[in-house]
Amino acid sequence: MNKKFKLALIIIALTVVLVVAAVLIASLIKRDEPAQQTALPTAGVSGLVTDAPDETAEPSPEHVNTVTGTLAVGGDIVMHTGLNGEAMTDTGYDYVPIFGILRDFIAGADYSVCSLVTTLGSGSYTAYPLFKSPVDLAYSIADVGFNLVNTATSHCVDSFKDGIDLTLDVLDEAGLSHVGTYRTQEERVNSGNRFTADVGGVNVAFLSYTCDTNAIPVAGFEYAVSICTTDYLSGGTEIDYDLIEDDLAAAKESGADIVFVFMSWGTEFATEPSEQQYELADFLFEHGADIIVGGHCRVPQPMELRTVTDAEGNERTGFICYSLGNMLSCQNDQYTDISALVNIELTKDTDTGEAWISDVSYKPIYMADLYDYGINDYGWHYRMVDLHAAIDSYDSGSPWEFITDEVYRDMAAALDAVHEYFGAELDSAVKAEAAAETAGQ
């Protein structure tokens, strides 16, 4: 083989090697390009196709950083004479035993509230038509575990202006917050007609209104009571919507995450809301209320979670109980001995500031009155009991000592009534059973 031919072969071989090398290098470069591209920032860039996650795919959890608070809500404390007799001791009055199961029911809540349908004072104590109760009641309410008392009820002026002042002084001394009545014009203005509390990290503004004052005028001290009607002495049907709208707007502007409104309204002993209650509830929700809890009716009225729309068209979940009925009382009219302790779970996104009602349930309660059954040797006559636990004790064959067949029948009927008016689906025991069944499927 001559030298020229050898040289030609060498050149051809080198050319082949160089071509193969070039192809390999190009292939390696091609493989690296996507990895470099995915490292590029894509925020604000439209039409860029990368291997980055597709934003239209299932998102990560919407609320990553949240706090949750629980609010326990009780109904009306209606102080008829029998309760004072039951609470009397050698040194004063102790109502804690009458509250029975309530202390356990509210122990796990971050904040607990109820309504006071009496005034507090000293000397002679009276019931209907003008309520005045021992100051010891305030200390018992605090001892049970309540944090705030709504004082704007139909009987808040029963001891006139001095009674309002003394009631608030005593609540302060007992360590109870309050909303709805005021000692001075300055106190009302400075409060914005509301009380704001931290409920497990959720900022809740409490407002309160009454439609009447038991026909007692507040002339000269109009500021002292949060009255939402202009005809409070003659029917309480003309709603002052401007007042309510301004109060709700101020509550939201103050930074409230959730707005809770107590309402003393409706017709006594009516188990269905009036048209006025429906209309006013819609107005409250539309103008910023998240939770509405009614009283004054003495008996249960419906409760519900519902989607509400505000004046700007924004949707959210609202909760209303048109009437929780009596919490503590010794009335004998039908349904005046049944109520519930409502637990409302509130959640807040700490990144966005958005807050919402995340869960609602209730525990049925029953005011046992042994006088009704001629039982006088049990050591007490009035106790608030856990309705489910009382019924279960009988059904299990080991009834509590005072539960006769007649008491059992009345309790079973009471639970049926609770479910009829409040709705069985929000009963915590019913919800727990449904959850257990779902988990077992």
The answer for residues whose C-beta is within 8 angstroms of residue 261's C-beta and 6 or more apart is 206, 207, 208, 209, 284, 289, 291, 292, 293
CB 171 within 8 A of CB 180: no
Name the pLDDT band for 36 (thresholds 50, 70, 90): very low
- pLDDT given at position 43: 29
C-alpha count within 13 angstroms, C-beta hemisphere, residue 170: 24
SS3 59: coil
pLDDT digits (tens, 9 = 90+) for 145-175: 999 999 999 999 999 999 999 999 999 999 9
DSSP-derived letter for residue 239 is B
Return mean pLDDT, the chain: 89
CB 329 within 8 A of CB 354: no
Cβ atoms within 10 Å, residue 40: 10
What's the angle, vertex CA 20, arms to CA 17 and CA 22, rounded to 5?
Answer: 105
CB 71 within 8 A of CB 343: yes
CA 139 to chain centre: 23
| Statement: residue 308 has pLDDT above 50 | yes
| Statement: residue 29 has pLDDT above 90 | no
| Statement: residue 426 has pLDDT above 70 | yes
pLDDT digits (tens, 9 = 90+) for 348-372: 999 999 999 999 999 999 999 999 9
What's the angle, vertex CA 212, arms to CA 246 and CA 204, rounded to 5?
Answer: 40
State both tokens at 287.
């103008």
- pLDDT given at position 361: 98
Rounded Cα gap, residues 271 and 103, in angstroms: 27
Which of 361, 367, 411, 371 lies closest to 390 in space, CA to CA? 411
DSSP-derived letter for residue 392 is H
What is the average per-residue pLDDT within 223-248? 97
- % of the chain exceeding 70 in pLDDT: 86
125-135 burial: b if 16+ Cβ within 10 Å, else e: bbbeebbbbbb
- pLDDT given at position 62: 78
Cβ atoms within 10 Å, residue 250: 16
Rounded Cα gap, residues 14 and 26, in angstroms: 18
Rounded Cα gap, residues 175 and 186, in angstroms: 21
Q: Domain 66-368 belongs to what architecture?
A: 4-Layer Sandwich (3.60)
| Statement: residue 7 has pLDDT above 50 | no
Cα distance from N-terminal residue to C-terminal residue, the chain: 88
CB 98 within 8 A of CB 384: yes
- pLDDT given at position 27: 44
| Statement: residue 45 has pLDDT above 70 | no
| Statement: residue 23 has pLDDT above 80 | no
How many residues are given for the chain? Answer: 441
- pLDDT given at position 349: 98
- pLDDT given at position 116: 98
AA letter at 409? R
E-only strand ranges, 200-351? 202-210, 258-264, 291-295, 303-309, 315-321, 326-328, 338-349
Question: Which of 68-72, 134-138, 302-306, 312-316 shows the lowest per-residue confidence on average (mean pLDDT)?
Answer: 312-316
State both tokens at 296.
């004054």
Greatest distance between any 2 Cα atoms in the chain:
137
Rounded Cα gap, residues 19 and 25, in angstroms: 10
What is the average per-residue pLDDT within 13-37? 44
- pLDDT given at position 440: 85
Name the pLDDT band for 47 (thresholds 50, 70, 90): very low
AA letter at 196? T
DSSP-derived letter for residue 58 is P
Rounded Cα gap, residues 252 and 275, in angstroms: 27
Name the pLDDT band for 434 (thresholds 50, 70, 90): very high
Characterize the bridge pairing of strands 132-134 and 119-121: parallel
Which of 259, 264, 337 lies closest to 294 in space, CA to CA? 264
Name the pLDDT band for 310 (thresholds 50, 70, 90): confident
- pLDDT given at position 61: 58
The model's pTM is 0.86
Rounded Cα gap, residues 128 and 233, in angstroms: 18
